[in-house]
Amino acid sequence: MSLPILPPKEAHRLISEGAALIDIREADEFARERIPCATNTPLSKLDSTDLKTGDAVIVFHCRSGARTQANAERLAKSVGGKAYLVDGGMDAWKRAGLPTERKAGAPIELMRQVMIAAGLLVLAGVILGTGVDPRFYALSAFVGAGLTFSGVTGMCAMANILRRMPWNRQIRTA
């Protein structure tokens, strides 16, 4: 089972006629930038959220359209009525000149924070291993092992640590 894909302007028309727009990105992404009328139902919480709305039309979106398309079957099963996907997600929505809201000062998305921190730690391990002591290469190996573990299990210790940092606390309570 798949969901029909709508161009952003057609999705905008449906929404203006009463369709509900659901953003399946995580809360940290939603907090930074969103489509004004969207409701946030993160994909990670989809199974515990009741989206059965009878005959109501639902339009799903993410940032690029990749998450919605990859999870179209799951999204289709979560609703009772008609549902659609925004082709190209919020990126295409913005390219079509449709409105979004940005929160000034919101932290960058958590997974980007993880990539930055992991990259800096690997780089530091290589630089220190080359210039100071070869034992610093272990730092790069440790980060690589952690990223591999995260990819295999879906659990990321670095994301859990970063989520608790002061600049990310506002998102947890939002």
Annotated catalytic residues are 62
DSSP one-letter code for 65? S
How do strand 33-34 and strand 58-61 relate by DSSP bridges?
unpaired
For residue 155, pLDDT beyond 90: no
Q: What percent of the chain has pLDDT over 90?
A: 49
Higher model confidence: residue 24 or residue 56?
Answer: 24
40 token code pair: 């946030």
> Phi-psi bin for 111: left (phi > 0), alpha (psi -120 to 50), beta?
alpha
Q: What percent of the chain has pLDDT over 70?
A: 92
Q: How far apart are CA 90 and CA 102, in angstroms?
A: 12
For residue 135, pLDDT beyond 90: yes
Domains of the chain: 5-102 (3.40.250.10), 110-173 (no CATH)
pTM exceeding the 0.85 threshold for the entire prediction: no
